[in-house]
Amino acid sequence: MPYQLSIVTPQGIAYEGEVDSIVLPGSEGDFGVLADHERFLTPLRVGEVEIQTGAELLFAATASGFAEVTGNAVAVLVEACELADEIDHARAEAAHAQAEQSLGQLAADDDDERYAEYEAALERAKNRLSVSGRRS
Amino acid sequence: MPNLKDIQRRIGSVKKTQQITRAMRMVAGAKLRRAQSAIEAARPYAERMQATLAEIARSQRDAEHALLQSRESVKKIEVVVVTSDRGLCGGFNASAAKHAKAMFEQRRPELDELVLTHVGRKGKEALRREPGVVEGEFYPLEGWVDYPQAADIARRLARRYAEGEVDEVRLVFNEFISTMNQTPRDLQLLPFHSEVAEPGNESEEALAYEIEPSATALLATLVPRAVEVAVYRALLENQAGEHAARMAAMEAATRNTEELIDSLTLQFNRARQAAITKELVEIVSGAEAL
């Protein structure tokens, strides 16, 4: 039974439509949502959202955020979201290299805040690369 | 009587100014539309975030977060003044600066320290000589506002608050109400309170959620994001307001140049007529003398 999914980012609505099932990267581990799931709130980590609509299977790379499951609607609020076939592989590659380089330069002196920032950037870049590899 | 050539030169120069103001008006108009659609795009995210926070505040009263707790005595506040990087937009930045100053005056007696942080160059220039404030950080805008930039600013503010360096953080920015109306306002950013989260008056407790791993853990992701969204919104409003104000200012400037050209053209025609009359008189009186 299909239900309503919306993926919302500060840049706008990244995905909206009826879906059959999704798999979300919860902070405590991936979890699937079918119709009539209980009301549920959880943080999300940087990862991959799997969207199943009929015979079609979509993947999206999402940054961290949270998900709100209410009866027959799921709202995913994340800082950024890109569908697998929207990801520019070359750009993702470049972002990854850039993040790795800045992290490497920083290892010498320990500025915690910067380090966390670059590490997060690297994680996002890795995630986008892996999701863009999943395009169907 | 100024001579013809001078008047002509002035008309030419005013026309060139008019070309510039007219072009700036059009550019500001195009940018305004883009800025408005950015505000529109950010709205669903902000609204859902608010709703969820309010829901948690309502159903999970015991959940806590450092950014939600207010301090007993507020001695040090940080004020973030959001303005544009560029001028030529009428009183837009001046009104934000004025609003900030009025707030300083009002709050100063009870405070030990006032840290002034700027987003956008113009506010920094306007408040450079403000006495008795500690200069905080400065973030130039440089191009279009994006979420990561706002999030970065928000994170730094949140960290200073959480570490106890300041007891309150306020945002001063121009709210974009319409193309013709931008009003400066200030809002308390930290300690954060969601605008609809007044406990008690909502419907019954029926709609509680299953929360995993815990309400506190969820708040740990939610609250910093809500703060980021608030900063992002202020930057977006400021951005749209800037372009709207510039559009209005350039519209007025274009109108002024039109008036100036009209009056100069009139002057030019009069001077030309005077010269012709003078020549005629000379010819006639010359002929009579023969």
Residues A68 and A95 in one domain: no
Ranges of residues in chain A whose predicted pLDDT is under 70:
107-113, 135-136
Residues of A in contact with B52 (CB under 8 A): 41, 66, 68, 77
Q: Are A26 and A43 in contact (CB under 8 A)?
A: yes
Residues A124 and A70 in one domain: no
Q: Is the pTM of this model over 0.90?
A: no
Paired tokens of A11:
């840049």
How many structural domains are present in chain A?
Answer: 2
Res. B65 pLDDT band, cuts 50 70 90: confident
Element (H, E) at B226: helix B215-289
Does the ipTM exceed 0.95? Answer: no
Q: What is the pLDDT of residue A110?
A: 60
What separation in angstroms does the CA of B137 have from each of A111, B53, B125? 18, 29, 14
Query: 10 Å Cβ neighbour count for B240?
Result: 26
Res. B54 pLDDT band, cuts 50 70 90: confident
Q: Are B187 and B178 in contact (CB under 8 A)?
A: no
Q: What is the CATH number of the domain that holds A21?
A: 2.60.15.10
What separation in angstroms does the CA of A51 have from each of A31, B92, B131, B183, B265? 12, 46, 57, 43, 69
- Per-residue pLDDT, averaged over B136-163, amounts to 89
Res. B214 pLDDT band, cuts 50 70 90: confident
pLDDT at B178 over 80: yes
User: Which residue in chain A has the smallest CA separation from B159?
Assistant: A113
Does the residue B105 lie in any domain?
yes
- pLDDT over 90 for what percent of chain B? 52
Q: What is the pLDDT of residue B202?
A: 47
How many structural domains are present in chain B?
Answer: 1
Paired tokens of B20:
């510039």
Q: What is the pLDDT of residue B204?
A: 47
Which of B43, B147, B212, B219 to mutate to probe the A interface, most A CBs <10 Å? B212
Q: What is the pLDDT of residue B197?
A: 46
User: Which residue in chain B has the smallest CA separation from A28?
Assistant: B213
Res. B25 pLDDT band, cuts 50 70 90: very high
Min Cα distance B87 → chain A (Å) is: 27
Does the residue B100 lie in any domain?
yes
Which of B29-43, B187-201, B204-218 has the weakest average pLDDT? B187-201
Residues A72 and A106 in one domain: no
Residues A63 and A12 in one domain: yes
Residues A19 and A58 in one domain: yes
What is the domain extent for residue A107?
Answer: 88-132
Beta strands in chain A (DSSP E): 3-9, 12-19, 21-26, 29-33, 40-44, 47-53, 56-62, 65-70, 73-78, 81-83
Treating both helix axes as pointing N-terminal to C-terminal, what angle do B4-59 and B215-289 enclose, rounded to 10 degrees? Answer: 170
Which of A65, A84, A103 lies at the terminal end of a domain, its last residue? A84
Does the residue B286 lie in any domain?
no
Residues A64 and A119 in one domain: no
Q: What is the CATH number of the domain that holds B219?
A: 3.40.1380.10
Residues A108 and A74 in one domain: no
Residues A63 and A104 in one domain: no
Interface contact A65-B225, CB threshold 8 A: yes
Per the model's pLDDT, the better-predicted residue between B215 and B86 turns out to be B86
Characterize the bridge pairing of strands A40-44 and B210-211.
parallel
B253 is catalytic: no
Residues A62 and A100 in one domain: no
List the one residue out of B141, B162, B170 whose CA is nearest residue A113.
B162
Q: Are A44 and A24 in contact (CB under 8 A)?
A: yes
What is the domain extent for residue B93?
Answer: 28-247
Q: Are B90 and B246 in contact (CB under 8 A)?
A: yes
Residues A80 and A92 in one domain: no
Paired tokens of B122:
């113009």
Residues A26 and A92 in one domain: no
Sheet holding B181-190, edge to edge: B134-139, B113-119, B76-82, B168-178, B181-190
Per the model's pLDDT, the better-predicted residue between A81 and B213 turns out to be A81
pLDDT mean across residues, chain B: 88
Min Cα distance A33 → chain B (Å) is: 14
Residues A53 and A118 in one domain: no
Q: What is the pLDDT of residue A108?
A: 59
Does the residue B5 lie in any domain?
no
Which entry of B63, B89, B172, B189 is annotated as an active-site residue?
B89
Q: What is the CATH number of the domain that holds A118?
A: 1.20.5
CA distance A37 to A70: 7
